[in-house]
Each structure stands twice: as C-alpha cells, then as structure tokens.
Amino acid sequence: MERILSMEDIRFTYTPEETDKPYAVDGVSLDMHQGEWIAVVGHNGSGKSTLARLMIGLLFPQEGTVSLFGDALTEENLWDKRSQMGMVFQNPDNQFVGATVQDDVAFALENNGIPFEEMTVRVREALAQVKMERFLDHEPQHLSGGQKQRVAIAGALALRPRLLILDEATSMLDPQGREEVIRVILELREKTGLSVISITHDLEEALLADRIIVMNRGRKFAEGTPPEVFARGEELTSLGLDLPFAARMTGLLRERGLELEETMSERKLVESLWTSRSNG
C-alpha cells in the first residue's frame, strides 16, 4: 500500500527562543497508508492539534520531516500538496467562507482554478455525499452546527482529496450534530476508501479508526488498534482520557466479582452477561 503521510522524529515549539519551555510536539514519528483511518486522541494541550497543523503545512517543524504522498513537504510544493488534502476545524462558524452553502463548498475549487462547469458538478456531488444537497442556497446562520460541519466536509471533498483531516470537528456540536457528522464520515469510509485522520477526544469517533494514537505532553504515549489501546485502561484515564462505556462497565462489574473478558463492545458485554446469568 502506498504511504501517503509520514512524519519522522518531528519536534516543534511555538516559542523557539525560550529554550526552557517544553516542545508542543516532541519527537513524534508516524506512518499512514492509503485508505487508513487514524484517530489521534489526547487531552487539551497534549499536542494533538499542533500535530494536525504540521501535517498540512500550517506549521513547519524545527526538526524532522513531514512527507506527503511520497515527497517531503516544502514551501515550494505546499500548495500542490494542500490541493490533495482537506481539513475541517472545530468551530463550525469560523470556517464558513461563502455566503451560501454552495458558495462555501465551491471556495476551494475556485482557489484551485477549477472551470465553472466542472465546479457545478463537483459542488452538487460533494453536497450529496454529506446529504446536504437540498440546502444549496441556505445561509450559514440558518443551519445547525452539525449541518455547517457537514458543509465544511463537503467543501473539503469537492477537491477530491486523498487525505481528510478532522481537527476536533465534532467537539462543539450537540449530540445530534455529532451523530450526523459521524454517520457521514462512516459512510464516506465505506463508499470511498478515503484516508482520514481524526483529531478528537470523542471516543465514539476514535473507536471507528483502524489505529489510535494517544498523545500526551507532545509525545506519542500509545499507538495501536482500538482494542490494543483501550486495554491500557487506568493508564489512559490518568491522562485525562475516557474509556468506552463497555470498558468502564466491565471494570465496574469485575470489581463486583463478575468474571468478564475485557471488551469495548456493548454488544459483546451484554451477550456475556446473558450467558453468565443463565450458566451462573
């Protein structure tokens, strides 16, 4: 599989003059393959958002290299690389550039000089992917937070990117908005095989990933599949992270003397409770 992103021993600080301050990102390496889905989790201030900004060249590391689609990222190829990526940020209001939904989705296309006829096709196609095609002429103030984030995703998809970065895209939404957005990214994953990096502290979002990277104080604290990572239980909670509901319940039930296997799936947990009830 083609490697689309790799970071090698990245170090970055916002205050290079102040040598006594810790680095925001400190010696992180990372490889990502085409079609992969990676969640980066960590508490606020763990360096996860800085990491995202380094990936798309909003920041350049003081040490180490970021490579995208096979080439090292430089000031020269920055715009070309960016045209193959999309990024959705936290605040739904602050990334809505256009006057209406369709204008906003077209923004990146205009910037990249896509001809008008092609744009109309792509705008509609991208909005259909996030189920917002009926809102072409709506103005942002008449949309919910979840709808605005879906438009932002469409704005990124319109460029037909190879990599989509979600930087805490669901953290300011209400439960319904969060669910809408997660449903949309799940569908995208199934239908398009798009590579996604989601920076998040929402566990439901993290559980969808193939691989989870846990950040703490600028360093990579843990990395692995969701079951591998969440098996570290207590260690994660001490970092200010949560465990999935099923994992928390399993812990509480074990304390109460039930013999249960570690699991993150509510389905599995309830099934094993049913069996132990009828056998017990």
Q: What is the footprint of another protein within residues 240-259 (CB under 8 A)?
A: 240-242, 245, 248-249, 252-253, 255-258
Interface with another protein (CB under 8 A), residue from 17, 76, 234, 277: 277
Minimum Å gap between C-beta 107 and another protein is 6
Of the candidates 63, 1, 61, which has an alpha carbon nearest to the alpha carbon of residue 32?
A: 1
Piece of the chain touching another protein by CB under 8 A; list 5-13, 125-133, 183-191, 268-276: 268-276
Of residues 11, 43, 183, 217, which one binds another protein by CB under 8 A? 43
H/E stretch holding 219 reads strand 219-224
Supply the DSSP symbol for 13.
Answer: -
Question: Which tokens sit at 240?
Answer: 């200010």
Q: Maximum distance among all alpha carbons in the chain?
A: 69
Instruction: Considering only the stretches 118-126, 183-191, 209-217, 224-232, report the one whose residues sit in contact with another protein under the rule CB under 8 A.
Output: 118-126
CB of 70 to another protein, least distance (A): 20
Helix (H, G, I), strand (E, B) or coil at 209: coil
Shortest separation between residue 8's beta carbon and another protein, angstroms:
23
Helix (H) or strand (E) holding 7: strand 3-12
Q: Choose, by CB under 8 A, the member of 29, 44, 74, 225 that binds another protein.
A: 44
| Eight-class DSSP state of 266 | H
CA–CA dist 280, 64 (Å, integer): 57
List binders of another protein among 203-222 (CB under 8 A): 203
Cβ pair 162, 195 in contact under 8 A:
yes
- Burial of 32: CB neighbours in 10 Å, binned 0-12, 13-18, 19+: buried
**125 to 164, contacts with another protein by CB under 8 A?**
139-141, 144, 155-156, 159
Select the residue interacting with another protein from 114, 166, 185, 213 (CB under 8 A): 114
| Smallest distance from another protein to CB 87, Å | 5
Q: Does the footprint of another protein cover residue 121 (CB under 8 A)?
A: no
Each residue 56-95 as x (binds another protein by CB under 8 A) or -, in order, gives x-x--------------------x--xx-xxx-xxx-xxx
Among 34, 100, 136, 183, binds another protein (CB under 8 A): 100
- Residue placing its CB nearer to another protein in the complex, 29 or 237: 237
Half-sphere exposure of 77 (CA within 13 A, CB side): 12
- Please state, in angstroms and rounded to a whole number, the distance separating the CA atoms of residues 25 and 32: 18
Q: Confirm or reject binding of residue 123 to another protein (CB under 8 A).
A: yes
Q: Rounded to an integer, what distance in angstroms lies between the CA atom of residue 131 and that of residue 74?
A: 36
